[in-house]
Structures are given as C-alpha cells and as structure tokens.
Chains A and B, each alone.
Chain A
Amino acid sequence: MSGPPRQILETTPRVMASPEPNFLGAFLGLWTMTWKSRLTWRQVARLFCLIFAMPALILLTVGSGAEKAYLAFALGFYQFLLLPISCLSTFGPLIRDELQADTIGFLITRPLTRAKLFLLKFLCLTLWMQILFGLSAAMLLGVGLIKQIDGVVSMAPWFLLAQVLAVLVYGALGALFGLITKKYMVMGVVYGFVVEVGVGMIPSNIHSLSMRHHVQNLLGNSDLAKTIMAKSDLVNLSSAGTGWAIVAMLFATTLALVGGALMFTYREYHHSDEMQK
C-alpha cells in the first residue's frame, strides 16, 4: 500500500461519529485480541501439549480394554487435576497480564463499565479454553475407542458436560484469585487441597462446596465412570441429582464472577508495584 487512501480518510469522520458501544461488538473485539495473541508460533508448543500430550500418553501407555488405567488418566489426571490447574494458570492472569504488560489503561478507558469488560474478557478466554479442551477431550475419547474401552461412547456426553462446566467454574475462580493476589497459583493450590479435596471428601452436605464433587456426580451418570470411581477412596459420590450439580457449578461461577467484577470495578489501577512482575 502506498499513500493514504483519500476516500477512506474523507469518509472516516462520518463513520466515526458517536459510536455506541454494544456487548456483541465489544465481545468481537476482545475475542479477536484473545485468539490472535494466543495463537502464535511462540505458543504452539504449549497448545500442542495441552491438546495432544494426554491422548498421546494414553495411546502409548494404556493397554487395550484397560478401563481402570484409561480412567485414571482421563478422570483422575485430566478432569480432576490438569483441567483445574490449567484453568487456574490461564484465568488467573486475566487482568493481571494486562497490568504486568502495562496495557490495562487502553482497556479501562474504553466506554464500557469495568464489570462488563471483566465479564467479556472472561467469556472470550472461556471460549478459547473450551475450544482447546474440547479438542483435547475429543482426542482423549477417540483414544478410548481405539483402546476398546467399553462405555466410552455413553460416557462422552457426561464427560463433555462436566468439562464445560468445570472450565467455567474453575476459570471464574482462577480469575477471582488472580484479582485477589499476585500469588494466585498458591491460593488456588491451597483452595484445591482444602475445599476441593478436603471438604469434598466429607460425607455431609458441606461437600457441595467442592466443585470436584459435582464433577464426580455428573460423571457418575456414566456406568463406566461410576464403577471405577466407586472403587476409589478419593471419590465421594452423593445421591444429589445432575440438576443440582449443574446449578451448584453455575451458581459458584456466578458468585466468583460477581466478586471479580466488583473487585475490578472498585480497584484503582495505576503504575505501581502491583504492575511489576
């Protein structure tokens, strides 16, 4: 391109007159920023690992028909450990990354409420993570078929539903932790041990505080997962229905997002120590 396109320059002021911000437009803008800043050559190795590492590991190490070993990877490691930790490490820096890169000023001076901005950023990152984990889950279930694991097909809908909700709730918690402290990973790990594992194991209603418990209940709808989980000392399935698990996870997501939006709205952001790595 050589020289300024006169036609564009001449029409620009008319096009630019009084733009009115809207939710969809802002979502599109933030979504473009989200995927374009993440789908880069520098990030390829990380993305590749997230999508292919687990299925490849199962493919290489689990024997044909070895249900217990397969589920130890697919549930014990993938759903209950890798997914929450990935969400924590990805959503924790939702705002903090902008602070550290010193680019927050470009966003918080746009004509959007900060609560809306926080929510939109969360939704864009959630969409990105759902795509990545969706691909990973599809590979994982595909490997289950290759390994002739009985009941993989009937487990798939529950596996995917649990994953979608888990990304939402752990993502929202990660975003909240990231706003509360720089050491959101430490906070998340402590929370994981105390609430997710500890409280989740208590055989009373208090275990509803553990999102892991609800994920287990959702997966318990699949005979394959239920049989294997029932044998584990670390699983505490309850008689609460699928609906309750979904509501509880959505409620926790909402609560964490409201907390995060309030913190983001009323906190001041300026060039301070908090912005430093």
Chain B
Amino acid sequence: MSAVIEVRELSRWYGLVMGLNNVSFDIEPGLTGLVGPNGAGKSTLIQVITGQLQPSSGSISVLGERPWNNPNLLKRIGYCPERESLPSELKPRDWLRSLALISGVAPRSAGAMSEALLHRVKLDPAHWDKRMGQYSKGMRQRVKLAQALLHEPELLILDEPMNGLDPMGRQEIAGILSGLAKEGKSILVSSHILAELESLCKNNLVLNWGRVLATGSRQDIRSNLKSWSEQLSVTCDNPRKLAEVCFRAGVLNGFDLTEKEDELVLRIREPESFYSRWTELLLESGVTVYGIRGQSRSLQQIYEKVTQ
C-alpha cells in the first residue's frame, strides 16, 4: 500500500525557533493519530501538509503531490483547524453552503449537502438557526468537522477535533471518524492525549520538540518511546564532566542536571549502544560514581514523561 503522506528530512523554522526538526516518516492509508503535547510541532506539520506553510528544508509529498500553493491537491484534502474560531455572524448552514460553493459544489446541491453534513456530525437542528458566535466549543468542533467533509476529500486532516468535547461527544466524533475510515478515507487526526487516539487509530505518530519520537502501531510506539524515555539517574562527584563526555559521544537525547548538585539524569538515545559504551564513558570522564538508578514505566507514563 503506498503512503498517502511521505515526509523526508523535513524541517521548518520560525525565525530562530524550530517548529519541525529534520523529520522523516510515511503515513499509510487509514486512520493515523498524530500525538504530542502542545508545542510539539503537530500544527506546524499539519499546516505544511495542507500547504499553508512551506518547508524550510526537506521534502513532503501528499497524495503524490507537493502541497504548497497547490489547489489541485486541496480538492482532495479536507482540513479542520485546531482553532475554534468560526465566522461569528454567520449561521452554520449559510457558512457551509458558501464553503461548498467555493469548493465547487453545484449551487443546487450545496444547501442539501450542508444539512446532510450537519446531521452527520450530529449537530442538533435546533441550533442551526443560531449564529455561530453563540456556539459552545463542542458545537463549533462539529461544524468545523462538517466543513472539512464538504467536497468529499480523499484525505482528512483534523487538528485536535476532540478538543472541548464531553466524553459522549468524543465518542460520537470517534465513531464518525471510524465510519469515514471504513468508507475508504485516509484520516490524520491530532491530539495531545495519547489515550484519546490509542484505541481509535491503528497507527500513531508521536512528536515532541519538533521531532518524531515514535511511529507505527501501539507495540512499535511502546518500544520506540521506551528508547526515548530510557533514563539513567547518576549520582557522582562531577556530573557536568560526565554529561559533557556522554553528550560528546552522541549517545544522549539530552540530560538534566538536578538541583542536587551531584545528580545527573541522562536521556539515552539508543539503550543498546549506550550500555555497550557506558563503562568506557565512565572511565573517560574519570568521575567517582556514588549511585546509578534506571526507570521503567507504562506506555501512558512513558508518553507523559517523554512529552512533558
């Protein structure tokens, strides 16, 4: 099965701030979750996929096309942004009908289609004649989802579509997304809560600090995240020196010097290669070690730890 989204060595900077840092991955057809805490780079990635932002370097292909300024591709993509803003003076039917017309739907079908989609996202018809400025967060999410479906896209990109929904609302949206996936649509859905997507999506992509921490099935993610989350707490007489040696050796994702002057927490990149060199690194640093402590967690705990 060919990938719907192919990303290779993609980076995106905002001035000096790095939104995405040299990420590479493929997204296969079906329902895929994009998980990461706020500021992880999810929205940046989604905006690059939907052609709102250009990559600073690297390449991206969506349904075989480059996304930046490409209306032909936009015919095949439905996008639901994270922000809750909707035109406050408009009613949902009018707004959806207008967007349908802009997307090329025939005027005689646009109205009926808008209503059908409002039904599909389960927005109570009692609210259809209210201006969207009066809508709750949950109602806005439903209208936003409806607008993404207007032109029958092959690929749906949904940025935090469950934000602000109550548990029942989340379940309903999850049901709608599953239904769309069964109809053959590819869906990329983002969330900052792993548990929210874990049961819904066959595959997930975990982002943090603008980097891909893990991709694949739940099992793949578990093993990937573990490698990211593998930490070693070392108490020694010169933690700075030890950190410097390990960092120079390229075996760390990062390290933390704790408030207690003699404690160092090492975030290990690849446990196997790290432990094969650990003795050598200790000897090279020349530090006196007082204690070493490893850590192990559940998937959710690991996720929380690596994305905190």
Contacts and interface: CB of A to CB of B under 8 A. Distances in A.
A201 B130 CA distance: 52
Range for the number of chain B residues in contact with chain A: 35 or more
Interface residues of A, number: 49
A15 interface: yes
Contacts of B95: 33
A12 interface: yes
B51 to A, nearest CB: 7
A133 to B, nearest CB: 22
Nearest to A21: B104
B71 A113 contact: yes
Contacts of A103: 85-87
A108 B125 contact: no
A30 B97 CA distance: 10
A20 to B, nearest CB: 5
Contact of B102 (A11, A26, A40): A26
B79 A19 contact: no
A205 interface: no
Contacts of B14: 270, 272
Contacts of A3: 119
Interface string A1-43: 1111100110111011111111001101110110011101010
A271 interface: yes
A151 interface: no
Given A9-B120, A16-B113, A25 B83 contact: no
A261 to B, nearest CB: 12
Contacts, number: 150
A233 interface: no
A108 B72 contact: no
A18 B74 CA distance: 12
B119 A5 contact: yes
A114 B70 CA distance: 10
Contacts of B147: 106
Contacts of A4: 116, 119-120
A30 B102 contact: yes
B81 A106 contact: yes
Interface string B57-97: 00000000000010110110101010101111111001101
Nearest to A28: B101
B53 interface: yes
A76 interface: no
Contacts of A36: 89-91, 94
A223 interface: no
B270 interface: no
Contacts of A57: none
Given A33-B98, A108-B52, A19 B151 contact: yes
Given A106-B147, A109-B74, A268-B54, A18 B105 contact: no
A251 interface: no
B43 interface: yes
A86 interface: no
Nearest to B108: A15
B102 A25 contact: yes
B273 to A, nearest CB: 37
A49 to B, nearest CB: 19
B26 interface: no
Nearest to A115: B69
A13 B89 CA distance: 29
Nearest to B89: A37
Contacts of A105: 50, 52, 79, 81, 83
A269 interface: yes
A97 B285 CA distance: 59
A109 B52 contact: yes
Contact of B152 (A5, A17, A22, A37): A17
Interface string A222-246: 0000000000000000000000000
Name, among A25, A105, A108, A113, the residue most crowded by chain B CB atoms within 10 Å (CB to CB): A105
A152 B128 CA distance: 49
A183 interface: no
B205 interface: no
A26 B79 CA distance: 18
Given A15-B109, A270-B53, A29 B151 contact: no
A102 B89 contact: no
A15 B14 CA distance: 41
A110 B116 contact: no
B272 to A, nearest CB: 39
A13 B86 contact: no
Interface string B195-239: 000000000000000000000000000000000000000000000
22 contacts: A8-B115, A8-B116, A12-B113, A18-B152, A19-B105, A21-B71, A25-B104, A29-B97, A29-B98, A30-B102, A32-B97, A36-B90, A37-B87, A105-B83, A106-B81, A106-B147, A111-B75, A111-B103, A112-B74, A113-B71, A268-B53, A270-B43
Interface of A: 1-5, 8-9, 11-13, 15-22, 25-26, 28-30, 32-33, 36-38, 40, 42, 101-103, 105-114, 265, 268-272
Given A9-B119, A29-B101, 5 more contacts: A19-B104, A102-B85, A106-B99, A107-B102, A268-B54
